[in-house]
Chain A
Amino acid sequence: MKRTIVEKIWDLHCVADLGDATHLLYIDRIFLHERTGSIALKGLENEQRRVRNPEHVFCTMDHIVDTFPGRTDATTMPGGSEFITTTRAASLAAGINLFDLGDDRQGIVHVVSPEQGIALPGITLVCPDSHTCTLGGLGALAWGIGSTDGEHALATKTLVVKKPALMRVSFDGSLAFGVTAKDMILHLIGQYTAAGGVGFAVEFCGEAIRELSIEARMTLCNMAVEFGAWTGIVAPDEKTFEYVRGRPYAPRTDLWDQAILHWQSLCSDPDAHFDKEIQIDCSDIVPQITWGTSPQHEVGIDGIVPDPKNEPDAHIRQSIERALDYMALEPGTPLEGIPIDAAFIGSCTNSRLSDLRTAAEILKDHRIAPGVKAICVPGSSQVKKAAEAEGLDKIFTAAGFEWRESGCSMCFFAGGESFGNQERVVTSTNRNFENRQGPRTRSHLASPATVAASAIHGCLTDVRKLGNQ
């Protein structure tokens, strides 16, 4: 029988068929962080249950920790240190692998797990965090869960999961200059809405996907959840194997060939059935920017703010009106040229070394516009170290960016640090929801390249024009 990559991985992990397309799936790796992992570990403790295979469970500190140099357990988030100390104590008690503050493996969970070779092709990996789908970029079947399911996975090494419907999204052709994986996924969400992927596991394929680096594939899969999908995945290839080779938790040398042989079988068979297919011509994609409060509120950087009057559906019209009110934007305004107050490069979407290199290339020999607050937060301690070894930190700071310790930082406002009231931020993160980056903060999602270019000009900028200068 012809099978898709998702079905192949699924079948391999099936412990029991529970009927109604629902299976007890074996979970290879579990990752936790101090915000939702803490409560899962504590819940387990309260029920006097043990972690079944602590050697397969990893935890990092990313969501609550500050990113200022010289940080400690104390946080700008009121009460934040409780999350850190509880997670530390519970991790030690459970005997799981902890990448604590000060450990050079610490960083954003979805940056750390591929970096350390914990996320691998063909494995099942879960984390009580919605952006776990990021790891689909390596060909892992990885998805976000709640804390209760986190407890289930910890206690039983399995989860009860209903098989999702299958979607294939083909990106044909090549990307133009200045267009990145971030623009591809924003374009998809803009065309098919933030609910377009609800109920589906999405396989990304096509010429443009093969050409993407592994880090870029992770950016693409990261926002599968913003498309509403259960998860996203890219079939592993030689690039993937090379990426994995030699990482701390990657297969040992004597088992490497066996692992490769298995990984090479992980692709959808020709003629495998998909419940839905979408084809996207990459020549249609320009650098994207959001104008509203949902990732589906987006257009090309050369576009204009839409007019709700043109929207026939009353609910969508109201959502546009509400978004424009929140964002303080008028219909018909060109996106390019809208003045910004701040620029942010970071998050599990776009904070890897390649992202920082792209941004640094644009920032080199430039200064950010006066009055713009700009921050770069490397995705992990390893990314930070590697970037510093290349001198990227010097480029960022010379341009006027702050250079931080790794963590989720201002991707969201947890009560501590934020962009200010009604500040307009161009950001390489994944969510432009109301109040996400701070009370009444106005977020415009974009690629790191667009963020860097906009920081220099002090307004939303078409990065393609910068390249032609």
Chain B
Amino acid sequence: METFQKLSAIAAPLLRINIDTDAIIPSREMKRVSKTGLSEGLFAGWRYLEPGSRKPNPEFILNQNPYQDAKILLSGANFGCGSSREHAVWALEEWGIRCIIAPSFGAIFFSNCVRNGILPVVLDHSIVESLASQVTSNPEKNLITVDLSQCSVTTPDGTAHSFSIRPADREMLLQGLDSIAITLKRDADILAFQTQDHHSRPWLYL
């Protein structure tokens, strides 16, 4: 997993509320049993003019210059709600998004981001709005800086907003850790738990 430390990048505002994972990647774009090859299907329903076509919709923000090079997405509340499909995160990551800033996230989507090197940042609605308005006045120049070690988002005008993130999630992103490898080291604890649990809830052991 790629680490996340500090990023200064173009941010694309997509300030709709309740953007669901069906919108991020429609079911029909998950064509293979694979974590790759998904970026073409990213936001397919909005990004292309006709369903199933690949003709770009010029009105969709990620089709516009310079947002095609965006690495940060600004969004409305409850981003990534709906289906658990991790493909939504794989598609965003493959397209080039490394950080999403929104007032709130779907719970499963949030975890999926952290497991894949994407930083989900929770900031107040009003702050996300102000970031969006500063960016749109000159997106190429008005970059947004996200520093995970400082837990800060710095706007083009130099204002720093701090955000909070669970320490374990922060470490995982900063170091690109493999959570399974970490837990496997606790195998003795798990075995001890199972032995005791087998005794207290025997009906669950098939």
Contacts and interface: CB of A to CB of B under 8 A. Distances in A.
Interface in B42-72: 45, 51-52
A24 B203 contact: no
A147 B84 CA distance: 8
A318 interface: yes
B82 to A, nearest CB: 6
Given A26-B197, A55-B206, A198-B107, A36 B51 contact: no
Given A129-B84, A130-B84, A148 B116 contact: yes
Interface stretch (A79-87, A353-361, A366-374, A389-397): A79-87
Nearest to B203: A251
A2 interface: no
Most buried by A among B83, B107, B116, B186: B107
A160 B182 CA distance: 10
A102 interface: no
A436 interface: yes
The 7 closest A-B pairs by CB, nearest first: A439-B51, A251-B203, A415-B28, A146-B112, A195-B78, A146-B86, A255-B203
Interface stretch (A15-23, A210-218, A235-243): A15-23
A195 B193 contact: no
B179 A413 contact: no
A258 B203 contact: yes
Interface stretch (A66-74, A149-157, A299-307): A149-157
A380 interface: no
B161 interface: no
B20 A433 contact: yes
Contacts of B8: none
Interface in A9-34: 15-16, 18-20, 22, 24, 26, 28
A200 B76 CA distance: 19
Given A79-B31, A86-B33, A322-B16, A160 B51 contact: no
A386 interface: no
A347 interface: no
Interface in A209-241: 225-226, 228, 230
B30 to A, nearest CB: 7
B15 to A, nearest CB: 7
Contacts of B22: 412, 431, 433-436
A13 to B, nearest CB: 8
Given A39-B34, A148-B112, A194-B81, A315 B190 contact: no
Interface residues of B, number: 58
Contact of A439 (B52, B106, B125, B197): B52
A128 interface: yes
A294 B19 CA distance: 9
A319 interface: yes
A162 B26 CA distance: 29
Given A55-B206, A255-B202, A149 B190 contact: no
A80 B107 CA distance: 28
Nearest to A123: B204
B2 interface: no
Interface in B105-150: 105-108, 111-112, 115-116, 125
Most buried by B among A147, A226, A319: A147
A129 B34 CA distance: 17
A56 B18 contact: no
Nearest to A120: B204
A20 B168 contact: yes
A42 interface: yes
A157 B180 contact: no
Given A15-B193, A414-B28, A39 B203 contact: no
A384 interface: no
Contact of A198 (B76, B104, B190): B104
Interface of B: 15-18, 20, 22-23, 26-28, 30-35, 45, 51-52, 76-78, 81-86, 89, 104-108, 111-112, 115-116, 125, 166-168, 179-180, 183-184, 186-187, 189-190, 193-194, 197, 201-204, 206
Contacts of B16: 315, 318-319, 322
A252 interface: yes
Contacts of B202: 255, 258
Nearest to A49: B180
Interface in A402-445: 412-415, 421, 431, 433-436, 439-440
A38 interface: yes
Nearest to B76: A315
Contact of B115 (A28, A55, A149, A415): A149
A158 B183 contact: yes
Contact of B23 (A128, A318, A433): A433
20 contacts: A15-B189, A19-B168, A39-B86, A42-B33, A56-B206, A128-B84, A145-B108, A146-B112, A148-B116, A155-B180, A156-B190, A160-B183, A195-B81, A228-B78, A249-B206, A256-B203, A296-B18, A315-B125, A415-B31, A435-B23
A214 B97 CA distance: 43
Nearest to A195: B78
A130 B166 contact: no
Most buried by A among B86, B189, B194: B86
A170 B127 CA distance: 34
B33 A83 contact: yes
B45 A434 contact: yes
A190 interface: no
Nearest to A162: B166
A235 B176 CA distance: 39
A195 B75 CA distance: 14
B203 A252 contact: yes
Nearest to A86: B33
Contacts of B204: 28, 120, 123, 251
B17 A148 contact: no
B30 A144 contact: no
Contact of A26 (B35, B83, B193, B203): B193
A258 B33 CA distance: 43
Given A322-B16, A433-B20, 8 more contacts: A22-B168, A35-B85, A39-B35, A43-B35, A86-B33, A149-B112, A251-B203, A296-B18
